[in-house]
Chain A
Amino acid sequence: MSHQDYEACEDGWAGSRQDPHMLNMRLYVPAVLFLVTLLLWNGTASAFCGFYVAKADSKLFNKASEVAIARAEDKTVITMANDFKGDVKEFALVVPVPTVLEKAQIHVGDAAVLKHLADYSAPRLVEYFDANPCRLLYPESRSMDMMGKASPSLQREKALGVSVEAQYTVGEYDILILSANESAGLETWLTENGYRIPKGASSVLHSYIKQNLKFFVAKVNLGEQAKLGLTHLRPLQIAFESPRFMLPIRLGTVNADGPQELFVYFLTRQGRIETTNYRTVRLPEAQEIPLYVKDRFGDFYRDLFAQQVKREQHRGVFLEYAWDMTWCDPCAADPLSGEELRSLGVFWLEPQGRPGRGPQAQNVFLTRLHVRYDEAHFPEDLLFQETSDRANFQARYILRHPWTGQDECTAAAAYREQLYGRYEQQAQTLATLTGWNIGEIRKAMNLAARPNRDEKKWYQRLWNN
């Protein structure tokens, strides 16, 4: 557990961590006495303690795309992760964008920063250790305390109704900004220029053209790539100002082979982001699961997610993480530095070294959404809104180790008595969360081999005979 964890842990027990934004908000509330007294009831950030054990890597999922969106006052910076595995000559990206982008609005980011953001916000597994029941009056709080230590010809373009609004080389990428009059021409142009467009994309392109969207088109410039000596493709970043707060997913669903996975990380000033045209659902969290899951956390999380998708009838968008970027508890990775956040587009953060600014990120709230989408269940692009909700949330799962000491006392007997019930509960939680077979879970936990404490009649338990 990092030093930061420890601090956060102590904070949680000593009292609430006051969120500066919440304090500002309170000033707006009229000073009616009745209402003012009510203010005391909110704003408590609960701290989570425990040893951070594992995280569910976004690479667990096939065909996963990762996008980071930093946004405030309609100013938006989108970072698109690039995990393209094939021949870079084959790489091509077509993204509808609301405005014609100038060269200065396009940037190549650092994959490591995006990876850091993904690690920081990943679903996590934490461990707790039960304390000796014989010695402690307040085992729970004490145990917490212990844990604390721890391009192409112009004529052809005209004929097709496609105009190249701008053309740039940024880093290892050749970038074109296209606008078009009609989709068939655009589709032909893209195909002629070596962009593979799935069959049926024409109607989607048509819709985007009518909505006055432009097309950001990128290919790899092999010469530049060789000059830079890069072996991987770095994430592309675009910055623009538009009231549209959406993510176009429709092109990706055309002729797609099964559902696709998308992780979106939002960095905002005010609070949590949610979808307005699909239901945003919090994943189940803070559930105790059997200890053996420690070695199978990846499988556990993948199956849990699949189960939740099914429960929401394949139409849900899932919240995995919502947190103020200044801290974390427990930390799956350290919070991002101000410099890292700025590189992801958090323009409202002053560069470090300016007077009056601390080393930590300020006023940056992170929301991580995970969506599994296909054409049938997600016919429309994702539309978002920023809420004023700054409540912390994380997909966190708990391993609770039993106390295995040999001390004998009444409390120890009672403690051992309730353990079986706890194991059974953990088994059932695991089965419900993942859809795994309860019999197999019990077997893996060696539950069948344990003496059945329930054999005692109720009156035997009453009089302890």
Chain B
Amino acid sequence: MCRLVEHVTRRFRSCDPRLYQIASLSTLLAYGLLWLHFDVSILQIALTFGTALLTQYAGTRLYKLPAFDPLSALVSAAGLCIFLRTNSMAVAALAAGIAIASKFTIRWQKKHIFNPTNLALLVVVTGSLGWISPGQWGQAAWFGFLIACLGSLVVTRAVRADVTLSFLGCYIGLLTARALWLGDPLTIPLHQLESGTLLIFSFFMITDPKTTPDSRVGRLIFTLLVALAALGVQFVLFRPHGPLWALLICSPLVPLIDRCFPGSRYDWARPSKGELTPPLSAPVFVPLSIPSQQRRVS
């Protein structure tokens, strides 16, 4: 039995982590649609996915990338379907277009700066074209959520588990400290944490290895900043969507953090924790011709 589990886990681990993300997000979306009656039409879902894939394809051709990689576009599209609410199908398509196009256009040192879904969501919300319903999940299925999200850590080889854990650690710690300072019962921070939106953000959005610092120290600093900014938005500025705004504000700091704390660049095909490769003592063969198209945008 144990062997079977190990075998299955190994098989999963050999897959691209984004496959598991797509499966998880799709399950959450299906749950939201069927159980919680989210205001998302099939047409909106189809348009979001369609536009995301088309934009990814167009970007691949335009920027002459070696291959069309649809997986990241699918993750972004699933995220948009879960978060974004709008009465206009054009806005749904526009959001998907912005998300994917931002990966190709807003870049610094061969890394895109903003999490595509996060950026598109906030552009649409700021323009009053759509809205996000952070309370849409209710509290009923929270434990189910937590299990599904924790499952993702196991299967995705926990490559970016440090981001989730340190963000949640900082966020929970700060919320609890605030409650203690205010003299509030702990049911209040607990209620604030029982949010499906927060879990999806922590497990599927902030973890994007392409938009987080390369080194572990960098990631810890980054998540602390995001947690602080999120609480600032909520309790100082009194605005909704604290974590989303916090991620948007902190993302431009990633190149700076990477400069101070360098690490190896993430590759979806070879998930790594970001340690720099140690200098090799043995001689290595260097290919004479280095492929000119080594750039990946995903």
Contact = CB atoms under 8 A, between A and B. Distances in A.
Given A35-B90, A38-B88, A207-B182, A276 B135 contact: yes
B138 A312 contact: yes
Given A28-B129, A244-B238, A387 B85 contact: yes
| 3 smallest beta-carbon distances between A and B, as pairs | A387-B131, A279-B138, A38-B90
Interface in A16-44: 22, 25-26, 28-30, 34-36, 38-39, 41-43
A275 B128 CA distance: 17
B169 interface: no
B122 to A, nearest CB: 14
A343 B136 CA distance: 33
Contacts of A388: 86, 128-131
Contacts of B86: 388
A211 interface: yes
A315 interface: yes
Contacts of B139: 279, 313, 315
Contact of A274 (B36, B135, B183): B135
Contacts of B238: 242-246
Contact of B85 (A41, A270, A389): A389
A206 B181 CA distance: 10
A427 to B, nearest CB: 24
A35 B183 contact: no
A389 B91 CA distance: 13
A351 interface: no
A277 interface: yes
Given A29-B90, A313-B140, A389-B85, A211 B130 contact: no
Q: How large is the interface on A (under 10, 10 to 19, 20 to 34, 35 or more residues)?
A: 35 or more
Nearest to B136: A279
Nearest to A381: B188
Q: Which of A42, A211, A245, A387 has the most CB of B within 10 A?
A: A387
A93 B190 CA distance: 30
B173 interface: no
B87 interface: yes
A298 interface: no
B292 interface: no
Nearest to A277: B135
A425 B278 CA distance: 72
A280 B86 CA distance: 16
B25 interface: no
Given A243-B239, A313-B139, A315-B139, A389 B89 contact: no
B206 to A, nearest CB: 19
Interface string B18-44: 000000000000000000100000010
B90 A210 contact: no
B87 A389 contact: yes
B137 interface: yes
A55 to B, nearest CB: 25
B240 A380 contact: no
B183 to A, nearest CB: 4
Interface string A297-320: 000000000000000110111000
Interface of A: 22, 25-26, 28-30, 34-36, 38-39, 41-43, 183, 203, 206-207, 210-211, 242-246, 270-271, 274-280, 312-313, 315-317, 379-380, 383, 385, 387-391
A156 B197 CA distance: 48
B135 A30 contact: no
13 contacts: A28-B127, A29-B88, A38-B89, A39-B90, A203-B183, A243-B238, A245-B238, A246-B238, A276-B134, A279-B135, A280-B135, A316-B138, A380-B191
A316 B138 CA distance: 8
A278 B47 CA distance: 29
Residue from the set B36, B43, B130, B238 with the largest chain A CB neighbour count within 10 Å: B238
Contacts of B183: 183, 203, 206-207, 210
Give the interface centre of A41, A316, A388 by most chain B CB atoms within 10 Å: A388
B94 A29 contact: yes
Interface in B54-103: 85-91, 93-94
A379 B187 CA distance: 6
B5 interface: no
Nearest to B41: A41
Nearest to A244: B238
Given A276-B135, A379-B185, A41 B89 contact: yes
Given A276-B240, A379-B191, A390-B87, 10 more contacts: A30-B94, A34-B93, A35-B90, A35-B93, A270-B128, A280-B135, A312-B138, A316-B138, A380-B188, A388-B131
Given A28-B129, A210-B181, A379-B188, A36 B135 contact: no
B144 to A, nearest CB: 14
Contacts of A245: 238
A312 B36 CA distance: 10
Contact of B94 (A35, A242, A385): A35
A42 B89 contact: yes
